[in-house]
């Protein structure tokens, strides 16, 4: 039976795991080893809408304290400067995988020409605003629109650490230099200076180093290089002056990859993710700075490899975060994967009465592989259908990117277009993290070709225009990110269900 859990690493993965374990399984003693010599990766600043839901609905953390300390801004989705359109928006709010009343077909069929503001989420993105005004609460932000966060990695980690400490997690400062093996897998971690730390379960959150799963246990790494060609990022940013805080991440096509723009309150974070086979570090840096002359604050290069370990739970070691696997941040999915891994770990430990067996470990590994592989395939779709640039790198992406398990979905789409029935051929079905909405956003956004064209009737055209105008009006009257921040910082503001 598990009594003690030792987490290696105090980045966002290690701390989210520690908080989850203490909150959901309070009988467990939880310790975290962290090394200030190694530090945290310092990137990972955009989330999906899974993060607020995980922190506040699942873990029931206090919103006031979290917002005050971590100072996140809100992200309604991603704006893609991608494909043949000037841009298209992929909001977290559903807009393509359903059918509005009065229309014979789902919305995607009517979005060939104009794919802007066809739902409230994308209309808000179009208007550059965050939340509709809440008529019933003094005009404050109505946060029922799905959102994720833009959140500075260092502030996020500091906030999580203080929450973990308050929950009774023990922190040990030190660098792990080796392990001692035992019958259950790993018996103890050995720290520089001679300290020895035992536990029943070890959670490897050591980031790309994957100290326990990769190095100590030698688990096989499954490489994603045939689907995702990028392997480096040059990262920079600048202090915000007059730029409006946008309620979305921007993903812009570049010569040999793409660049993100993340909107913190006082800082704009930019990064160019590129393929080192297609462009040198120097040329990538030069292109990055040419397009972002303000990003002169010492741009740094981060190397990564996309892929996952074959199993992430082996014996008494379970890896969470970058130590388990990584796909490039095109959809900012790493923290979402961490939240899934934490939830599944708790679910299985609870179910097993803290005595996990081989069958439960196999199930955990299946779920984790599924999440990573679905994410790989979803990102591959972005590369396969991006026709914006005609150069050697992007031609190779269109011709050679492998899309894994998406064959049936793409065949169906080519015949039938953005039909809701495509959900029946979606890999992983109900467990698919992106759901049909995500796939349709990328296919419709990139104008992927299909046969079953359909036109709006005259009546449909009038109601469609009216519907989009209603969304636009509501979005234009909505609160900006800056206005919403100022409301939630007012002493009069109360989060639902919180008294102070």
Ligand X SMILES: Cc1cc2nc3c(=O)[nH]c(=O)nc-3n(C[C@H](O)[C@H](O)[C@H](O)COP(=O)(O)OP(=O)(O)OC[C@H]3O[C@@H](n4cnc5c(N)ncnc54)[C@H](O)[C@@H]3O)c2cc1C
Q: How many CB atoms lie within 10 A of CB 452?
A: 13
Q: What angle, rounded to 10 degrees, do the helices at 120-127 and 458-476 form?
A: 50
Retrieve residue 45's tokens.
Answer: 């600043």
- Using CB atoms, what's the residue nearest to ligand X? 11
CB of 174 to ligand X, least distance (A): 6
The contact set with ligand X (CB under 6 A) reads 8-14, 33-35, 38-41, 43-47, 153, 175-176, 205-207, 209, 211, 233, 271, 302, 304, 321-323, 329, 332, 334-335
Judged by CB, which is closer to ligand X: 15, or 409?
A: 15
H helical segments located in 135-280: 153-166
- How far out from the chain centre does Cα 8 lie? 22
CA distances from 303 to 43, 274, 300 (A): 12, 10, 10
CA distances from 46 to 234, 268, 331, 336, 370 (A): 16, 12, 9, 10, 22
CB of 496 to ligand X, least distance (A): 26
Q: How many helices (H) and strands (E) does the chain have?
A: 13, 21
Retrieve residue 144's tokens.
Answer: 């029922």
Judged by CB, which is closer to ligand X: 14, or 117?
A: 14
CB of 469 to ligand X, least distance (A): 34
Judged by CB, which is closer to ligand X: 317, or 444?
A: 317
CB of 156 to ligand X, least distance (A): 8
CB of 17 to ligand X, least distance (A): 9
Judged by CB, which is closer to ligand X: 124, or 157?
A: 157
Judged by CB, which is closer to ligand X: 149, or 450?
A: 149
Judged by CB, which is closer to ligand X: 38, or 187?
A: 38
Judged by CB, which is closer to ligand X: 105, or 382?
A: 382
CB of 40 to ligand X, least distance (A): 4
Q: Which of 369, 442, 488, 345 is nearest to 80 (CA)?
A: 442
Kindly report the length of the chain. Answer: 500
H helical segments located in 108-184: 120-127, 153-166
Retrieve residue 183's tokens.
Answer: 């019958």
Residue at token pair 């040198």: 280
CB of 39 to ligand X, least distance (A): 5
């Amino acid at each position: 039976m598990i009594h003690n859990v030792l987490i290696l690493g105090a980045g966002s993965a290690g701390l989210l795991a520690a908080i989850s374990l203490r909150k959901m399984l309070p009988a467990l003693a939880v310790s975290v080893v962290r090394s200030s010599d190694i530090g945290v990766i310092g990137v990972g600043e955009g989330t999906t809408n899974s993060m607020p839901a995980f922190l506040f609905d699942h873990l029931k953390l206090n919103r006031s304290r979290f917002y005050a300390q971590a100072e996140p801004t809100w992200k309604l989705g991603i704006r893609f400067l991608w494909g043949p359109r000037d841009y298209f928006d992929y909001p977290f709010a559903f807009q393509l995988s359903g059918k509005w009343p009065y229309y014979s077909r789902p919305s995607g069929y009517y979005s060939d020409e104009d794919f802007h503001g066809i739902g409230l989420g994308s209309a808000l993105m179009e208007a550059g605003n965050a939340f509709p005004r809440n008529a019933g609460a003094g005009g404050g932000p109505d946060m029922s629109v799905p959102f994720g966060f833009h959140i500075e990695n260092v502030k996020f980690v500091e906030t999580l650490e203080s929450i973990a400490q308050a929950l009774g997690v023990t922190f040990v400062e030190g660098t792990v230099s080796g392990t001692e093996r035992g019958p259950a897998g790993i018996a103890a971690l050995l720290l520089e200076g001679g300290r020895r730390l035992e536990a029943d379960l070890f959670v490897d959150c050591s980031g790309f180093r994957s100290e326990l799963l990769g190095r100590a246990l030698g688990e096989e790494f499954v490489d994603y290089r045939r689907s995702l060609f990028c392997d480096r990022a040059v990262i920079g940013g600048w202090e915000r002056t007059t730029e409006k805080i946008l309620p979305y991440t921007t993903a812009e096509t570049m010569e040999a990859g793409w660049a993100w723009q993340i909107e913190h309150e006082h800082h704009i974070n930019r990064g160019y993710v590129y393929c080192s086979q297609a462009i040198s570090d120097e040329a990538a840096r030069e292109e990055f700075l040419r397009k972002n002359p303000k990003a002169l604050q010492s741009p740094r290069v981060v190397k990564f490899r996309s892929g996952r370990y074959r199993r992430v739970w082996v014996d008494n070691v379970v890896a969470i975060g970058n130590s388990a696997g990584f796909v490039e941040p095109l959809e900012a999915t790493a923290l979402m994967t961490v939240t899934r891994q934490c939830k599944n770990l708790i679910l299985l430990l609870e179910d097993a009465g803290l005595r996990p067996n081989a069958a439960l470990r196999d199930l955990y590994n299946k779920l984790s592989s599924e999440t990573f592989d679905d994410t790989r395939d979803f990102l591959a779709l972005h590369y396969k259908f991006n026709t914006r640039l005609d150069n050697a790198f992007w031609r190779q992406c269109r011709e050679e990117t492998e899309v894994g398990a998406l064959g049936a979905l793409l065949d169906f789409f080519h015949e039938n277009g953005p039909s809701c029935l495509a959900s029946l051929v979606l890999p992983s079905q109900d467990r698919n993290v992106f759901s049909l909405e995500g796939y349709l956003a990328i296919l419709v956004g990139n104008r992927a070709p299909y046969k079953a064209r359909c036109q709006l009737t005259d009546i449909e055209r009038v109601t469609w225009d009216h519907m989009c105008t209603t969304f636009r009006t509501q979005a234009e009257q909505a609160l900006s990110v800056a206005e919403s921040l100022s409301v939630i910082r007012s002493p009069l503001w109360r989060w639902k269900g919180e008294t102070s």
